[in-house]
Chain A
Amino acid sequence: MSKLKLAILFVPLALFIGLAAFLLRGLFSDPTELNSALIGKPVPAFQLPNIYHPEQRFDQSLLKGKPVLLNVWATWCPTCRAEHEFLNQLADQGVNIIGLNYKDDSRAKAVDWLNTLGDPYQQTLFDEKGSVAIDFGVYGAPETFIIDAQGIVRYRHVGDVNARNWQQTLAPIYYGLEAQ
Chain B
Amino acid sequence: MKFVITLIASLLVVLTVNATEVRQFDNAQQQQLYHQLINELRCPKCQNQTIADSNAPLAKDLRDRTAEMVQAGQSRQQIIDYMVARYGDFVHYQPPLTLATSVLWWGPAVIVLIGLATIVVLVRRQRRIAADETPLSDAERQRLAQLKRTAEEHSDDR
A: residues with CB less than 8 A from B are: 31-32, 34-38, 103, 129-131, 134-137, 139-140
Contacts and interface: CB of A to CB of B under 8 A. Distances in A.
10 contacts: A34-B44, A35-B88, A38-B86, A103-B57, A130-B57, A130-B58, A134-B86, A137-B86, A137-B88, A140-B58
A34 B65 contact: no
- Residues of A contacting B: mostly: loop
Contact of A139 (B65, B84, B85, B87): B87
Contacts, number: 37
Given A37-B84, A137-B86, A31 B47 contact: yes
Contacts of B87: 34, 37, 137, 139
B93 interface: no
B148 interface: no
Given A32-B47, A38-B86, A135-B86, 7 more contacts: A35-B88, A37-B85, A37-B88, A134-B62, A137-B86, A137-B87, A140-B58
* Chain B interface bracket (under 10, 10 to 19, 20 to 34, 35 or more): 10 to 19
Interface of B: 44-45, 47, 57-58, 61-62, 65, 84-88, 90
Nearest to A44: B86
A130 B88 contact: no
Contact of A36 (B57, B65, B88): B88
Contacts of A38: 86
Contacts of A131: 61, 65
